[in-house]
Structure 1
């Protein structure tokens, strides 16, 4: 499998895990050191991976809520042991555009950082 396709597989693991609310799957894809960042009214919102996983664990998944998946991989850029990708998904009432930074680890590609934009669904 090419590195591009390996990164793409990791991205779909992330998107499908998020849609299904599969916290264990998400924990395997995100490195323990990972953080999630977004612009907020107060400046920058920064969430450690485990705090975010607790939020996912505490809510009903989009799939269990009966919402169709809107998951999409827009682009992937691979540079040896690093990759960047843009993906999007929805968890009504919001849609998310994520830019993910990944590292090639001994056990595969893992997310080290996520920046995201959240907006209401149209």
Structure 2
């Protein structure tokens, strides 16, 4: 019986943690449809947070590749006074990148709903 209580407490704690992170992301990060993303990304810093091999296979025109794994080391490449538009393959890594940027003082953060796999616009491949 004690095992059941421990499992229930762990499940509840996990759900609370997930819920907190979700609410935090909604507070710091604007999720944009493809149409909204297209309207603003030319005036912003467009960052692809996928790994270089993913970037080389196709990316949005004008995007810079700063993988999430390198973002902490490459923060100086981004201006905190300009909007930052982020995207990854499906939206998970860009949300994590936004959390890191927010902690470092970046406030105008947006990401592409559904990520690159939902993008229907022009792309560039290597």
**Higher Cα Rg: structure 1 or 2?**
2
Report 1 or 2 for greater relative contact order, CA contacts < 8 Å, sequence distance ≥ 6: 2
Greater share of strand: 1
Greater share of helix: 2
TM score, norm. by length of structure 2: 0.28
TM score, norm. by length of structure 1: 0.28
